[in-house]
Amino acid sequence: MEDSYWNTDYWHSMDRKQGKSDIIDINPNQIGISSGIGDPLQGLRSRIFMGASQVELGFMGQGKGSRSSPTGWTPESVSVPEREAIRQLAKINEITLSTHATPNVAISGIGEQGFSEERREQALTEIKKAIDFAAATAGGGPVVLHAQEFPRSIAEHFAHEKFEQYPGEKEKAFLPLVDQETGRLVNLRRDIKVPEIVRDKDQKPIRDESNRLKVEMRSFNEYQQEFDRLAKEEKKEYDGSVGKYFYSKYKESEMQRNEAESEFYDERARALERRQTEMQKVQELVNKSKNKEYILDIILQQKFAEELGLEEKKKLYENPEGFLKSAITQVEHEKKRFEEGAEAYAKQAKSVQHEVETIQPIEKYGVKQSAGAIARAALYGYDTEKNRDLERPITIVPENWTPEVYGSHPEELKQLVQESRKEFVDMLVKKKHIDEDQAQKIAQERIKATFDIGH
């Protein structure tokens, strides 16, 4: 390469050789280039002077934006006259324009705590702004957005390619899961140990020399091996995800504890209910007599009287009738507390069970969120294209971003495009009443991908 030259008409006497040899047949007018950060009109002008023929106009700002900062520009920062100037400048100089929406939003709607419909809608609004800008300046064309969808372990997904984010990632990385009902992220570390009862071959608990249940701490790798041995149908119960399987084991003790506490409190409440019934029957007998000795004798014959302490017996002998009324009231209050405890623990057990059931691998949930939003952006672009009779179709183009997030690997980017096209086809068929074959052609043309090797 050191003796090679780019195919331009430039040569200088300081060049190593007189004339040119080993010419690389690529000209600046064949390479696309970004307009840079800030004013897209000024950026376009500078790129024209460089000889570029394909220019991407991009924005870093979001929301209202600000023209006072290069990173604050948004499509709305560009006035109608400036948009027209961009359009005319590109046309005169035969420049093909594309548009890059702000990279500071995630179309999946993910944030620190999880996925949010509000954030997803805000991201979609930014994409729509870029679509409107592309319609006004470029006559349509690609609208690029960063595919920064959600975190996932590099070592887990691309171990066969010998990739890892940091040494020991496979043993220490988080297992990103999500609650499909709330969008809440659940990050469980792989190096967490989970207690398990040791059982024999008949699945009976084993006890140690002190006759206590034997417990061992199990690692993620052990559960991974256990999961791998499951039948295909059994794996489906966990969405085919070892992460969900591990999480269910992690939460199992909590659920068992809540169930046991609920059962204990419920049994205690039922016992108190039986005692209350016995006392009420005695109360009916007492109400028929005014003889203190008779009343005392009846109460002493009851089973609950055997459990009375010295202070309670003293009160009983002093005022049998009053003691009985007070005891009934006390049992009622105690029964109510145990009933409330049984209900509370039952609710907690159900809550844990429901959480385990609604937890999904982040890929399953996240891709659906992203694909749905990209499809909506494509539908908006399709409507804009038709309503304004644009020269070029508007294409929504997710672009790989940083390796730490889903969408950076070619296979992920491909999956994202395919799932987005499916969602878009469904929208075209249902909302626009377009034939499915035609809808698929439209989707293939209007949802594509950009692969940036610099990312």
Least confident of 19-23, 65-69, 162-166, 228-232: 19-23
**Contacts for 263 with CB less than 8 Å, ≥ 6 apart:** 342
Pair of tokens at residue 143: 């609208």
Least confident of 104-113, 146-155, 296-305, 379-388: 296-305
- Rounded average pLDDT over 337-354: 96
Per-residue confidence (pLDDT) for residue 69, from 0 to 100? 92
- Kindly state the percentage of the chain with pLDDT values over 70: 93
Question: Who has greater pLDDT, 313 or 422?
Answer: 422
Closest by CA to 352, choosing from 239, 229, 248, 211, is 248
- Rounded average pLDDT over 175-184: 92
Q: How far, rounded to the nearest angstrom, does the alpha carbon of residue 86 sit from its chain's CA centroid? A: 39
Per-residue confidence (pLDDT) for residue 1, from 0 to 100? 45
Confidence band, pLDDT 50/70/90 cuts, at residue 453? confident
**Contacts for 218 with CB less than 8 Å, ≥ 6 apart:** 193, 194, 195, 196, 249
Question: Who has greater pLDDT, 341 or 9?
Answer: 341
Per-residue confidence (pLDDT) for residue 380, from 0 to 100? 98
Greatest mean pLDDT among 2-11, 136-145, 233-242: 136-145
185 strand-pairing partners: 178
Where do we find the tokens 């696309």? 32
Q: How far, rounded to the nearest angstrom, does the alpha carbon of residue 128 sit from its chain's CA centroid? A: 23
- Rounded average pLDDT over 202-207: 92
- What are the tens digits of pLDDT across the range 22-77? 555 666 566 778 988 999 999 999 999 888 889 999 999 999 889 999 999 999 99
Would the CA dihedral through 317, 318, 319, 324 be positive or negative?
negative
Alpha helix segments (H runs only) across 288-361: 292-300, 310-318, 320-358
The DSSP output letter for 95 is P
Question: Who has greater pLDDT, 224 or 312?
Answer: 224
- What are the tens digits of pLDDT across the range 131-161? 999 999 999 999 999 998 898 888 888 878 8
* Torsion angles phi and psi, residue 54, rounded to 5: -130, 120
- What are the tens digits of pLDDT across the range 417-426? 999 999 999 9
Per-residue confidence (pLDDT) for residue 117, from 0 to 100? 94
184 strand-pairing partners: 114
H or E stretch at 223: helix 220-228
Least confident of 185-194, 294-303, 362-371, 407-416: 294-303
Round to whole Å and give the CA distance between 425 and 442: 8
Per-residue confidence (pLDDT) for residue 138, from 0 to 100? 96
Per-residue confidence (pLDDT) for residue 343, from 0 to 100? 97
Per-residue confidence (pLDDT) for residue 24, from 0 to 100? 57
Q: Would the pLDDT of 348 be above 90?
A: yes
* Torsion angles phi and psi, residue 141, rounded to 5: 85, -170
Q: Would the pLDDT of 246 be above 90?
A: yes
Per-residue confidence (pLDDT) for residue 333, from 0 to 100? 95
* Number of other CB atoms surrounding residue 250 within 10 Å: 19
Q: Would the pLDDT of 270 be above 50?
A: yes
Per-residue confidence (pLDDT) for residue 23, from 0 to 100? 56
* Number of other CB atoms surrounding residue 371 within 10 Å: 25
- What are the tens digits of pLDDT across the range 77-130? 999 999 999 999 999 999 999 999 999 999 999 998 899 999 999 999 999 999
